[in-house]
Amino acid sequence: MTTPARVPAPTLALSANDYVHGYSSHETRRLTDQADTLAALLHSDSAYPVGSKVLEVGCGVGAQTIHLVTTSPEAHFTAVDISSSSLAEARARVVAHAPGAHVTFLQANLFELPFPEAEFDHVFVCFVLEHLAAPRQALTALRRLLRPGGTLTVIEGDHGSTLFHPDSAYAHAVIDCQIQLQSTAGGNALIGRELHPLLTSAGYQDVTVRPRTVYADRSRPALVNGFTRNTFIAMIESVREDALAAGLITPPDWDRGTADLHRTATDDGTFHYTFFKAVAVNPPSATSAA
């Protein structure tokens, strides 16, 4: 990327003010819970070679970073985020979990990353595209930082995959509030299903997308607690005030909906959600032309 200014720079939803998931310490706990519970499901097959240079874009509080460095202790990571407070938490988390890890932290905008073209062997992006108004342009910009033949890994959810027992129209209504708020902020909570066309249209090759499905019932209490309750329902509950302020739902309907969601995490309840993990290659003959 010789002239970053040439890359379209739409409003980045992933900012401290607009970020739909917020930056509270409760939110930090939720993201950490999620990463721990999902680590094996999402990351167990991501290992980077000794000495390879890996860029993690949108590392946030380091919830995924600690799994990356654990799985690939001899790779050299650069973890970027737009929030300095998140970066401070990420740094502390990595120091606590993997004191010998090779991680450089950097505060920067995804669209204005201060690296030369083809600087990295691999790029890793997890739960970031869902917040961007222009995910394809972001992917194109990131491709220029990858060496020819380098890989991009993307992990995103898709709230349309949510299904549960007992079913409840009220519960779906509160989930729809989150989807609408994220859309209003310029993001897309249904982006998982689009990863293949997105990466393909951004110029990547050999795009492979696979579902990573979380399913929790009473036989898996740690998953019920770690995912259904502390990850998914907590995420939905975190947008209550915004949903009410936007007039998307009434307080009684909100309360009924979240109560019905909690019902799926008790007794005979079940809960299902699918993440999508994509791996793609920057074409060996890549040029700077998008």
Residue with Cβ nearer its own copies (110 or 224): 224
As measured in angstroms, the least distance from the Cβ of 123 to its own copies is 20
Beta strands 270-281 and 146-157: pairing type? antiparallel
Q: What is the per-residue burial (b if ≥16 Cβ within 10 Å, else e) of 174-210?
A: bbbbbbbbbeebbbbbbbbbbbeebbbebbbeebebe
Residue with Cβ nearer its own copies (29 or 210): 210
As measured in angstroms, the least distance from the Cβ of 117 to its own copies is 27
As measured in angstroms, the least distance from the Cβ of 252 to its own copies is 25
48, burial (CB in 10 Å: exposed 0-12, middle 13-18, buried 19+): buried
Residue with Cβ nearer its own copies (8 or 197): 197
- Report phi then psi at 273, rounded to 5: -150, 140
**What residue ranges bind its own copies (CB under 8 A)?**
158, 160-161, 163-165, 167, 190, 193-194, 196-197, 200-201, 207-211, 213, 215, 217-219, 268, 270, 272, 274, 276
Residue 166: is the preceding peptide bond cis (ω within 30°)? Answer: yes
Residue with Cβ nearer its own copies (208 or 288): 208
For residue 20 the two structure tokens come to 């739909």
Residue with Cβ nearer its own copies (29 or 218): 218
Secondary structure tally for the chain: helices H, strands E: 10, 8
For residue 28 the two structure tokens come to 């930090």
As measured in angstroms, the least distance from the Cβ of 147 to its own copies is 23
As measured in angstroms, the least distance from the Cβ of 54 to its own copies is 24
